[in-house]
Chains A and B, each alone.
Chain A
Amino acid sequence: QKEVEQDPGPLSVPEGAIVSLNCTYSNSAFQYFMWYRQYSRKGPELLMYTYSSGNKEDGRFTAQVDKSSKYISLFIRDSQPSDSATYLCAMSARDSSYKLIFGSGTRLLVRP
Chain B
Amino acid sequence: SAVISQKPSRDICQRGTSLTIQCQVDSQVTMMFWYRQQPGQSLTLIATANQGSEATYESGFVIDKFPISRPNLTFSTLTVSNMSPEDSSIYLCSVPKGIGDEQYFGPGTRLTVT
The number of inter-chain residue pairs (CB within 8 angstroms) is 58
B contact residues, total (Cβ < 8 Å): 24
Say which one of B11-19, B40-48, B61-69, B74-82 lies at the interface with A. B40-48
Asked whether B100 lies within 8 Å of A43 as measured between CB atoms, the reply is: no
| Selected A-B contacts with CB under 8 Å, 8 pairs | A32-B100, A42-B107, A43-B106, A44-B43, A45-B105, A97-B48, A100-B43, A102-B43
CA distance A44 to B44 in the complex (A): 13
* CB of A47, distance to nearest CB on chain B (Å): 10
B-side contacts of A49, CB under 8 Å:
100-102
Q: Which of B41-98 contact A (CB under 8 A)?
A: 41-45, 48, 58, 92, 96-97
* CB of B79, distance to nearest CB on chain A (Å): 20
Asked whether A51 lies within 8 Å of B100 as measured between CB atoms, the reply is: yes
A-side contacts of B101, CB under 8 Å:
32, 34, 49, 92, 94, 98, 100
Q: Which of A7-58 contact B (CB under 8 A)?
A: 8, 32, 34, 36, 41-46, 49, 51
Smallest CB-CB separation from A49: which chain B residue? B102
* CB of B8, distance to nearest CB on chain A (Å): 14
Asked whether B42 lies within 8 Å of A43 as measured between CB atoms, the reply is: no
| Most B CB within 10 A of own CB, among A44, A49, A88, A92 | A44
Asked whether B105 lies within 8 Å of A44 as measured between CB atoms, the reply is: yes
Asked whether A88 lies within 8 Å of B42 as measured between CB atoms, the reply is: yes
Smallest CB-CB separation from A33: which chain B residue? B101
A-side contacts of B41, CB under 8 Å:
104
Asked whether A100 lies within 8 Å of B42 as measured between CB atoms, the reply is: no
